[in-house]
């Protein structure tokens, strides 16, 4: 079973993926893959530029996405023998077409102020920089239309964990995992 987790920037996808890992899933973190491909200083320079020029963001994505997709598929293939569910943690799951290799898709959602607050605590990005990145992603309402499960991450971690466990149990009950 391959499960895709998506959602907007700062919604809590990685937190949710880690909760699934504690339940026994293997995680493929697409952000981590990108970070392994591009030096941190270069990523910072690129992000300052591309999020202000959509044409260059599109060009960068056309270069990076095929490499990331190939690495994700290779990792899935290597995990097949383990016979455990695989979680693809990908902010651009739908935009890249990775959703087509998933058996189920989970969207993590939260309100905009929470997203901004979370990202500002973890990074040096300004509110405007965060909004630019969010606007470059597929709008949440379009992601929600393409998902099988929704996790509302506006509440406490305990409430989020309960939603994750409920989805996990539902998948087990229907023998998806």
Q: Give the list of residues 6+ apart from residue 153 with CB closer than 8 angstroms, or none.
A: 7, 11, 12, 15, 16, 108, 109, 110, 114, 160
- The Cα 2–Cα 133 span in angstroms is 27
pTM to 2 decimal places:
0.91
Closest CA to 117 of 44, 14, 9, 7: 9
Q: What are phi and psi of 125, to 5 degrees?
A: -75, 145
User: How many whole angstroms from its chain centre is CA 169?
Assistant: 21
CATH code at 2-173: 3.40.50.300
The residue count of the chain comes to 177
Per-residue pLDDT reduced to its tens digit, 43-82:
988 998 999 999 999 999 999 999 999 999 999 999 988 8
Q: Where are the domains of the chain?
A: 2-173
Per-residue pLDDT reduced to its tens digit, 118-160:
999 999 899 999 999 999 999 999 999 999 999 999 989 999 9
């Amino acid at each position: 079973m391959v499960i895709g987790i998506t959602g907007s920037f700062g919604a809590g996808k990685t937190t949710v993926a880690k909760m699934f890992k504690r339940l026994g899933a293997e995680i493929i973190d697409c952000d981590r893959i990108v970070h392994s491909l591009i030096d941190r200083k270069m990523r910072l320079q690129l992000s300052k530029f591309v999020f202000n020029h959509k044409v260059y963001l599109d060009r960068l994505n056309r270069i990076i996405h095929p490499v990331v997709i190939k690495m994700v598929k290779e990792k899935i293939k290597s995990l097949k023998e383990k016979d455990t569910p695989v979680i693809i943690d990908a902010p651009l799951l739908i935009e890249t077409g990775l959703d087509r290799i998933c058996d189920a898709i989970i969207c993590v959602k939260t309100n905009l102020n929470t997203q901004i607050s979370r990202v500002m605590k973890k990074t040096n990005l300004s509110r405007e920089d965060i909004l630019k990145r969010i606007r470059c992603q597929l709008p949440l309402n379009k992601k929600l239309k393409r998902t099988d499960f929704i996790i509302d991450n506006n509440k406490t971690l305990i409430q989020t964990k309960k939603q994750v466990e409920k989805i996990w149990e539902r998948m087990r009950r229907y023998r998806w995992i």
